[in-house]
Amino acid sequence: MTVLPIWQSLADKALAGDLLSRDEARAVLTAPDDQLLDQLAAAYRVRRATWGNRVRLHFLLNAQSGLCPEDCGYCSQSKISAAEIEKYPMLAQDRIMEAADRAAQLKAGTLCMVISGRSPGETVFGKVLDAVKAVRAKHDLKICACLGLLNEEQVLRLKEAGVETVNHNLNTSANYTPEIVNTHTFEDRVNTVEAVKKAGMKTCSGGILGMGESHDDVIDLALSLRELEVKSVPVNFLIPVPGTKLEGVRQLDPRQCLRILSLYRLLLPTQEIRISGGREVHLRSMQVMGLYPANSIFVGDYLTTQGQTAREDLRMIEDAGFVLETPDGEPLVGDPFEGVPESYPRAALPLVEV
């Protein structure tokens, strides 16, 4: 049986702007392993049409850790978590500038500034605005702010300070959200994304896969992101951190992660798709294959878990024939390793084994 045209026909639909049927989307997620390379080839056709062979790097800064009043089951920073993590209030501006220096050194195009909590108070929000202005004055870095639930006035103030993108993940489907969190609703998250859109800013919103959701939940999350016209989609794979509610969930293997990434490329053909938390944990030796459907990764560590070294990421990208993307969207000219240190300080937690 020839399987290649089946997946290529889905790529044709995606390239034409047509939406896959639910049965077609389920077929991507449930295909046997011997069709995985054909799926990746089809997804890469769609990726290449918008992004060529470029890879966009983001650097994640956990500017305020822990102390969160939300009860998200996946999160080591939530009020119900017993995970052993660093907890600290908003970092001083000099510490944020050190992180921005490192992001530039590692060839990242975007600094993603994240704070824990439901929504920032005015004091913390003011510190974020000051830090954004300082980073923009020194570096040619785009700024993405992830600050929790935001209203329209807060979003406009971020825009005025120089923030280009606001991240607020939907995390899972509307149907599955009550299984994961009770202190806010799916609609609360949608409202923040809508406020970002209304301000004319770039929307960044994705999810966490592998939390016990069904195939239909995986599909519904992608469809919600498509309906919201989200521009940048971080795809996280659950890291079952000890001490969190979901520490015992084991739903993923590398091949299923690649099927999910392929589906998201087919359903979100022109969006930036970023392989985010859980890349090293779940894709393991198959990480580079995720770059055929996805066009972006985080370089460095995550919020409370570590990633592989920047040089390993850069070598992986180079070995596969991909090229780094500059902040203005052009291919990087020159040596991508120039100025990148052999090592850098690691996060407090080791990689979680699954």
- Kindly list the catalytic residues: 68, 72, 75, 112, 144, 204, 274
Residue 56 and residue 109 in contact, taking contact as beta carbons nearer than 8 Å: yes
H helix runs in 146-253, sequence order: 152-161, 177-180, 186-198, 215-227
The length of the chain in residues reads: 354
The whole-angstrom separation of Cα 66 and Cα 79 is 8
- Whose CA is closest to 281, among 200, 354, 185, 338? 354
Residues with Cβ within 8 Å of 146's Cβ and at least 6 positions away in sequence, in order, are 112, 113, 114, 115, 166, 167, 168, 204
Question: Tokens in use for 305?
Answer: 């878990």
The whole-angstrom separation of Cα 223 and Cα 264 is 9
Question: Tokens in use for 252?
Answer: 């993923």
115 three-class SS: strand
The whole-angstrom separation of Cα 277 and Cα 274 is 10
